[in-house]
A and B are shown apart, each in its own frame.
Chain A
Amino acid sequence: MYLRKTILATGVALSALSAASFAHAEPTAEVLHWWTSGGEAKAVAALKEDFEAKGGKWVDSPVAGGAGDAAMTVLRSRVLSGDAPAAVQLKGPAIQEWAEQGALTNLNDVAEAEGWDDVIPPAIQDVMKYDGDYVAVPVNIHRVDWIWANPTLLAKVGADSVPTTWDEFNTLADKLQAAGITPVAHGGQPWQDATIFETVVLGLGGPEFYQKALVDLDEDALKSDTMKAVFDQMRKIRGYVDSDFSGRDWNLATAMVMNGDAAMQIMGDWAKGEFLAAGKVPGKDFLCAPTPSDHGYLFNTDSFAMFNVSGDDKVEGQKLLAELIVGEKFQETFNLLKGSIPARLGVPMDKFDDCAKKSEADLKAAQDAGGFLPSMAHGMALRGHLSGAIIDVVTAHFNSDMTSDEAVSRLVEAIDLAKD
């Protein structure tokens, strides 16, 4: 008993001693994230290695489960008890929400030293900044508006490429269906329904309409005939999916395209990871092409928000981490592992696959054309309660026989209700 106490006391004293002596020497950062499996876990490990190579001490706080819900619950309690982690995996307008609570720290000095304003695309800067100050750092750009297609199945109905207008899409899908092939692989989960929905909004309405309807929530745009046409198209697509789609996970839908059970899937470029992991070659075994739109590009960017921490070692660690994350080396390693493209310009793309190269080229074109827009379905465009209200209506329409008129009026009602 006494012996154990003595050992304990010595241990505590020793660790206190070591903590004191290294406090200034070792920049420390606690990182809260939910990248705990597959390529994502490898990507985080790469960041950790970099950070430790620069003499930092990495405190890993992974919270798995519920696509980040569990991590957010942990974050709330940590912030409320005044012990926030240094960096938290957060994205989209949620960053602004935390900044409004005064919980985020200012990264402007790092940003200036590193010249972030020149290398990060302006639309992504907007997401990372609160009141003009950097409070978060982007790690990647996922493109959401992709069609993943099986070329063998397309060839069966005489098509050699992915359609470039929604009319062509419907014609092709009808042909496929007539040939006994499931045209669209889809998983009936609300976010997947919403993913298709937003690509249709972008395609039928154009980038300007997308901005008005799903970013600014302009009531005229939401009530417009264009929006009704969008819901009509959604009803069409509902007819193109197989009968077992309910509740199917997205990667199982991707597997359907891979195995020749369905011709196309509309999904972000995380689907590419499934193809590559199965040893498939882009352009040969599968096709990647943007969903029909006029130089539109919907982005989904993961980022780390930097919370207020006290203590020199922690502040130093946080700055070092921010610098490394935006740095070219990390952006390259991370995105090669995760299947996305770097969130900064000037990273050499030669190690990336053809789909990623296309994504990068399209990004530049979309930026010039004003079509580089945040994804609504993936929490980049709107705060959770607003996008949630839209997704509810989209998924209720997709999974029932609701008319487009009713869907539009419900959409306006739901947004009004969520707004106040």
Chain B
Amino acid sequence: MGASQSTESNLTAGIQRHLSKIVVAPSFAASLFFVYGFILWTGYMAFSKSRMLPVWDWAGLRQYERLWQMERWHVAIENLFIFGGLFIVACLVIGCLLAVLLDQRIRAEGVLRTIFLYPMALSFIVTGTVWKWLLNPGLGLESAMHDLGWTSFKFDWLINSDMAIYTVVIAAVWQASGFVMAMFLAALRGVDQDIIRAAYMDGASLPRIYFGIIIPSIRPVFLSAIVVLAHLAVKSFDLVIALTGGGPGYSSDLPATFMYTMAFQRNQLGVGAASAMMMLATVMAIIVPYLYSELRGGKKNG
């Protein structure tokens, strides 16, 4: 009786000691296989002759060559830079501005904060569909303005090849800027009030305090926001599908929609894999310096 009790307690102690590892192990194994394993597999596919089915025949850099010769890929990459650049900058500016305004201890702050944050709770498909209706010249804004009597009003970006990508920016900024605002607001609240009071005493104006003291002190939040927004931009897929369908033509294609078209609609697995690797490289270019600085910073602190 006593022996079995002690074995049991040994077992319990052992489980308790290793509990964290036991709990984490399955998800660790799963992510090792399903994320990193498939990244490696996709990497290999990009070097293979795969078309309809994955094959292992080596094709060297041929798929990458074909990818970069495709007009459509160039459109997708160009769109990624337009979309990514404007999306990140606009979200930061609007988010920061909203946060600063909300930070003025105004009435009904809670309600306003919820209103601005709410779009983030929607799926991109919903955002895309709603903006598709709003921006459709015959249905939305333009026709509403015409009905009100402003007949010269013209806003047809959605159906204009050169401007369609900017409608994606509008919808994405609408969705994400509230989230950025929340990040900034939290950071602003964390700034030491004594410093601000001291600055007041010295007679600094409010803009001066914000630009000279508060914003520099929340610099790390900028970095986090940029990383979050950048990866949202690179992996954007559903928003484009719902809003423009990649059109008119393929003028608002992004790398993710390009990859889907090649791999799943055109039996071009090799080119699809190559474009997926290019997307991975883009994300790495953003994330790796960030991780590097974070980890190094952590060491310094520790």
The residues of A with any CB-CB pair to B shorter than 8 Å are: 66, 69, 72-73, 76, 79-80, 94, 97-98, 101, 188-190, 193, 242-247, 383-385, 388, 392, 395-400, 410, 414, 417, 420
B217: interface (CB < 8 Å): no
Assuming A101-B53, A188-B247, A246-B244, what are 7 further A-B pairs, CB within 8 angstroms?
A: A69-B265, A244-B139, A247-B244, A384-B265, A396-B71, A398-B249, A417-B69
Closest to A242 in B: B138
B257: interface (CB < 8 Å): no
Given contacts A396-B249, A399-B247, contact A243 B53 (CB under 8 A): no
Question: How distant is the Cα of A336 from the Cα of B228 in the complex, in angstroms?
Answer: 53
In the complex, what's the smallest C-beta–C-beta distance from A110 to chain B, in angstroms?
26
Interface residues of B in 80-139 (CB under 8 A from A): 132, 136-139
Chain B interface size, as a band, is 20 to 34
- B66–A417 touching, CB < 8 Å: yes
B52: interface (CB < 8 Å): yes
Most buried by B among A76, A94, A190, A247: A247
Q: List 14 A-B contacts (CB under 8 A).
A: A69-B264, A73-B264, A76-B52, A94-B267, A188-B247, A188-B248, A247-B158, A384-B266, A384-B267, A395-B247, A397-B249, A400-B161, A400-B251, A414-B71
In the complex, what's the smallest C-beta–C-beta distance from B248 to chain A, in angstroms?
4
The interface residues of chain B, by DSSP majority, are classed as loop
The residues of B with any CB-CB pair to A shorter than 8 Å are: 51-54, 66, 69-72, 132, 136-139, 156, 158-159, 161-162, 164, 244-245, 247-251, 261, 264-268
In the complex, what's the smallest C-beta–C-beta distance from A127 to chain B, in angstroms?
17
- A80–B247 touching, CB < 8 Å: no
Contacts of B54 in A (CB 8 A): 80
Most buried by A among B248, B250, B264: B248
Question: How distant is the Cα of A97 from the Cα of B266 in the complex, in angstroms?
Answer: 12
Question: How distant is the Cα of A417 from the Cα of B248 in the complex, in angstroms?
Answer: 23
Closest 10 CB pairs of A and B: A244-B138, A399-B248, A246-B159, A399-B249, A395-B249, A388-B266, A396-B249, A384-B266, A384-B267, A400-B161
Most buried by A among B71, B139, B158, B249: B249
Contacts of B265 in A (CB 8 A): 69, 384, 388
Closest to B54 in A: A80
In the complex, what's the smallest C-beta–C-beta distance from A192 to chain B, in angstroms?
10
Contacts of A392 in B (CB 8 A): 71-72, 249-250
In the complex, what's the smallest C-beta–C-beta distance from A307 to chain B, in angstroms?
13
**Residue from the list A243, A396, A417 in contact with B159, Cβ < 8 A:** A243
- A76–B53 touching, CB < 8 Å: yes
- A97–B159 touching, CB < 8 Å: no
Given contacts A69-B264, A101-B53, A392-B71, contact A243 B245 (CB under 8 A): no
